[in-house]
């Protein structure tokens, strides 16, 4: 076993998963396990399935000097596009990103094998890259996000030599495929340390390369006060993760992109659009621009837009609004409204009204609706005119 699972066990944490390293090639692994699937082009890996569990098996990586162009391929800025060079366990250790992730657990004698002083850094609480930091970031810019994630998750400090290039090479993230950034952001923000990870990304000036429009909004104050909506949303996410409650990426991305969407909707309303149409168009525009940086699968972007569009409907509080209680996205939209109220954007009384109405009887709900003047009378339908007989 190798990597994060070994690291977390040594720290007294419960590993999320386990990775295996071997001298067997991916093709060899597939011959041994019929429940094996080979994945990846950049890094060829074997995924061995055991029910819902997946054990990731990687072949020991080798050094680059004696590699062929077919095995290794770089982009113009030094990013590795393909790297399937195999070698020894000693070479594999030196090819890993951080020293604390280069620890191996040998199941033959139950020993921890350390080729890179990872145990020393683990005890000191330091994140240190193996090799030249700038070169390692250029080979794979996602390592910059991993540095922020591990620093937030483990509470470690980043070695100064590895920290300085973080502040200078954020533009390398612009060349990373949007789909890969989406996967990495889920690890960053759905692990229970979303707020700390967010603070690290902004400190190292990396966040703007992921959410440029959001960063632009956060750089300004509103009515003399800093915008706290994103921070409150991330605190809420961390709380839910700690309590074992589900967190959907749709809600997370709806939080991140709300400010640019809200401001664009206000512009469209000022141009004469209805509030509903303005929000629909603003959501479409913002998501369309965002996916060029970080992809958002359609199943999540549709949920995001529903959450945003329901904010106006939650303000109506009439009989038609009560139907929202049965909407599959009501709970997410309600939680979103609470965040808006906490940050001073939405009416606190409105949020309290929706909180109360969920826990009262049907009779009491009708009373509450009538008290807001939202009861109304049923409309009488006009009889359809029959066509004149010829």
Q: Active-site residue among 92, 97, 114, 140?
A: 97
Neighbours of 202 (CB within 10 A): 15
Annotated catalytic residue 109: no
Q: Give the residue among 286, 292, 256 at the shortest CA–CA distance from 173.
A: 292
Written as tens digits, the pLDDT of the chain (390 aa) is 999 999 999 999 988 888 999 999 999 999 999 999 999 876 789 999 988 889 999 999 887 654 444 444 444 554 544 556 889 999 999 889 999 999 999 989 999 999 999 999 999 999 999 999 999 999 999 999 999 999 999 999 999 999 999 999 999 999 999 999 999 999 999 999 999 999 999 999 999 999 999 999 998 877 656 689 999 999 999 999 999 999 999 999 999 999 999 999 999 999 999 999 999 999 999 999 999 999 999 999 999 999 999 999 998 877 777 788 889 999 999 999 999 999 999 999 999 999 999 998 888 888 888 887 754 444 444 445 555 554
Structural domain 177-374, CATH architecture: Orthogonal Bundle (1.10)
Q: What is the pLDDT of residue 163?
A: 96
Q: What is the pLDDT of residue 81?
A: 47
- Angle formed by the axes of helices 249-270 and 330-342, to 10°? 70
- H-assigned helices in the chain: 4-10, 26-32, 89-95, 118-124, 133-139, 142-154, 160-163, 178-189, 194-203, 207-210, 212-218, 229-242, 249-270, 275-290, 298-314, 319-322, 330-342, 348-357, 362-371
Annotated catalytic residue 17: yes
Annotated catalytic residue 132: no
3-state class of 221 per DSSP? strand
Name the average pLDDT for the chain.
Answer: 89
Residue 172: how many CA atoms within 13 Å on its side-chain side?
A: 24
pLDDT tens per residue across span 28-75: 999 999 999 999 876 789 999 988 889 999 999 887 654 444 444 444
> How many helices, marked H, and strands, marked E, lie in the chain?
19, 12
């Amino acid at each position: 076993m190798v990597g994060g699972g070994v690291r977390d066990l040594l720290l007294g944490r419960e590993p999320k998963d386990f990775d295996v390293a071997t001298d067997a090639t991916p093709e060899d692994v597939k011959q041994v396990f019929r429940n094996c699937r080979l994945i990846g082009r950049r890094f060829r890996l074997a995924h061995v399935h055991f029910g819902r569990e997946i054990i990731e098996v990687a072949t020991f990586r080798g050094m680059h000097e004696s590699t062929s162009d077919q095995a290794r391929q770089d982009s113009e800025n030094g990013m590795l596009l393909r790297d399937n060079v195999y070698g020894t366990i000693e070479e594999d250790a030196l090819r890993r990103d951080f020293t604390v992730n280069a620890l191996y657990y040998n199941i033959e004698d139950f020993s921890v094998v350390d080729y890179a002083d990872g145990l020393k850094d683990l005890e000191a609480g330091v994140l240190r890259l193996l090799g030249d930091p700038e070169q390692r970031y250029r080979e794979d810019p996602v390592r910059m996000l991993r540095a922020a994630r591990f620093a937030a998750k483990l509470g470690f400090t980043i070695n100064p030599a590895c920290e300085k290039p973080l502040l200078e090479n954020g533009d390398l993230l612009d060349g990373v495929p949007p789909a890969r950034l989406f996967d990495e952001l889920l690890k960053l923000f759905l692990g229970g340390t979303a707020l700390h990870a967010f603070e690290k990304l902004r400190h190292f000036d990396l966040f703007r390369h992921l959410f440029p429009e959001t960063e632009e909004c956060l750089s300004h104050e509103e009515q003399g006060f800093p915008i706290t909506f994103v921070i409150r949303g991330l605190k809420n996410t961390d709380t839910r993760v700690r309590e074992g409650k589900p967190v959907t990426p749709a809600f997370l991305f709806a939080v991140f992109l709300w400010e640019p969407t809200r401001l664009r909707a206000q512009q469209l309303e000022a141009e004469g659009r209805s509030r509903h149409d303005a929000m629909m168009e603003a959501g479409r525009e913002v998501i369309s621009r965002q996916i060029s940086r970080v992809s958002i699968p359609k199943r999540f972007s549709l949920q995001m837009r529903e959450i945003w569009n329901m904010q106006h409907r939650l303000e109506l509080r009439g009989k038609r609004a009560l139907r929202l209680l049965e909407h599959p996205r009501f709970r997410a939209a309600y939680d979103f409204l609470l965040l808006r109220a906490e940050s001073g954007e939405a009416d606190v009384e409105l949020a309290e009204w929706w909180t109360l109405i969920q826990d009262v009887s049907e009779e009491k709900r009708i009373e509450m609706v009538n008290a807001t003047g939202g009861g109304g009378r049923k409309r009488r339908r006009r009889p359809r005119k029959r066509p004149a007989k010829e």
